Chain A
Amino acid sequence: KNEVEQSPQNLTAQEGEFITINCSYSVGISALHWLQQHPGGGIVSLFMLSSGKKKHGRLIATINIQEKHSSLHITASHPRDSAVYICAVNSGGSNYKLTFGKGTLLTVNP
């Protein structure tokens, strides 16, 4: 079992829909990250969380430390949101290296 599991693996939505991507982890962590990767490889950091909730524009990230679970929500989705969304953690024993989930491929259709 991977240390970081994401669901779903693939998600197709219509423009305007509310999107939720889930991440579960099995280790103690010092931080959890949500990242966005577009075709071609570039990765953009969206959020770093250690507790609670963060919001940036139409993106909201939450984390429940007790349940070892985080969610990324996208409100009013748009085709430009189409990308791979990756959850990654700094596990307790290492504050520097990231352990990544496999990613969720989101496609938003117009």
Chain B
Amino acid sequence: DTGVSQDPRHKITKRGQNVTFRCDPISEHNRLYWYRQTLGQGPEFLTYFQNEAQLEKSRLLSDRFSAERPKGSFSTLEIQRTEQGDSAMYLCASSLKDPGGYTFGSGTRLTVV
């Protein structure tokens, strides 16, 4: 297992377009998290899955954001009608238990132009 994989690493999109990011967690980890990090700030919690169930969604996530984790394996984060304020690093992490030793992916850096 090579850790948590995120794809793509970088995404540049025009305002108003939809984008989708993928996260492949460590296979034994049933817990998966999405965070968003803007320049000079620590990451902020977006959403949490335990297996395929989305147990919490931050109020930071507007209706334009949706996350899924079908079959409790990989997860996708979709942003519809992107805005410049969505530009950030989107980080995925997984763990085996709560609280747990978290393994983070390398992130997807989104730039909305």
Q: What residues of chain A have their CB less than 8 Å away from a CB belonging to chain B?
A: 4, 30-31, 33, 35, 40-45, 48, 86, 88, 90, 94-103
Contacts and interface: CB of A to CB of B under 8 A. Distances in A.
B102 to A, nearest CB: 5
A41 B44 contact: no
B67 interface: no
A64 B45 CA distance: 25
Instruction: Say whether chain B's binding surface is mostly helix, strand, loop, or mixed.
Output: strand
Contacts of A4: 42
Nearest to B55: A96
A99 B99 CA distance: 12
A103 to B, nearest CB: 6
Given A40-B106, A42-B106, A102 B42 contact: yes
A24 B18 CA distance: 39
Interface string B39-56: 011111100101000011
B79 interface: no
B42 A96 contact: no
B34 to A, nearest CB: 10
Nearest to B105: A42
B101 to A, nearest CB: 6
Contact of A97 (B45, B104, B107): B45
Given A86-B42, A88-B42, A103-B42, A98 B102 contact: yes
B89 interface: yes
Contacts of A96: 31, 33, 48, 50, 55-56, 95, 98-99
B57 to A, nearest CB: 11
Contacts of A41: 37, 89, 91, 106-107, 109
A100 B44 contact: yes
